[in-house]
A = this chain, B = another copy of it.
Amino acid sequence: MNYVYIAASIDGYIATVDGGVDWLDQYPNPEKSDYGYSDFIRSIDVVVMGRHTFEKVMTFGDWPYDKKVFVLSRFLTTVPDALKGRVELMSGSPETVVDSISHAGFNDLYIDGGIVIQDFLKHDLIDELTVTRIPVLLGNGIPLFGTLNAPLRFEHKETTVYNNAFVTSRFARTR
């Protein structure tokens, strides 16, 4: 199963034009919620992300993942020493990537990053989509969704409101 778990503005942006995600951190968290993140992470085997997301995550300081991370890139040839063994480079079509990771013994993939998510959706390779809506219209930025060859129907699984601010809905692809 391939999972998306991501935050987006009401108008569907995951970052500002320059990749900024500070707007995500401007909300009080009296519930001390992790917005379902640790439950979600427990449910997946590996993380798959694009180069842009990888480079963004590296700016956060401590490496946040305790699962293996596959970074999709046609250009990167090496990962920083500190991440060797934890990060693996890969390239190819979404189908190829899923096959390779499956052959390596991993079945539940966290698909992250705008371009990679759009690419996987275009190939109808996302089984579960969890979107947390942040109550802001950014009006511009890096969009979560792109064009598709055909509509994709989902079933609503559950919606949770955190801190009376963030609305998290989980959808499963109707197959």
Q: Give me the interface of A with B, judged by CB distance under 8 Å.
A: 10-12, 23, 121, 129, 131, 133, 135-140, 144-156, 159, 161, 164-167, 169, 171
Contacts and interface: CB of A to CB of B under 8 A. Distances in A.
B167 A23 contact: no
B136 A147 contact: no
Contacts of A147: 139-140
20 contacts: A10-B129, A10-B131, A10-B145, A10-B154, A10-B171, A12-B145, A23-B151, A135-B155, A136-B152, A137-B145, A137-B151, A137-B152, A139-B145, A140-B147, A156-B161, A156-B165, A156-B166, A156-B167, A159-B161, A159-B167
Contact of A138 (B136, B139, B151, B155): B151
A152 B146 CA distance: 23
Contacts of A150: 139
Q: Which of A10, A146, A149, A154 has the most CB of B within 10 A?
A: A10
Contact of A137 (B11, B23, B154, B161): B154
The number of times this chain is found in the oligomer is 2
Given A137-B154, A139-B146, A156-B164, 10 more contacts: A11-B144, A121-B137, A135-B153, A137-B145, A137-B148, A138-B148, A139-B147, A139-B150, A155-B165, A167-B167
A133 B164 contact: no
A154 B139 contact: no
Contact of A139 (B139, B151, B156): B151
A144 B151 CA distance: 17
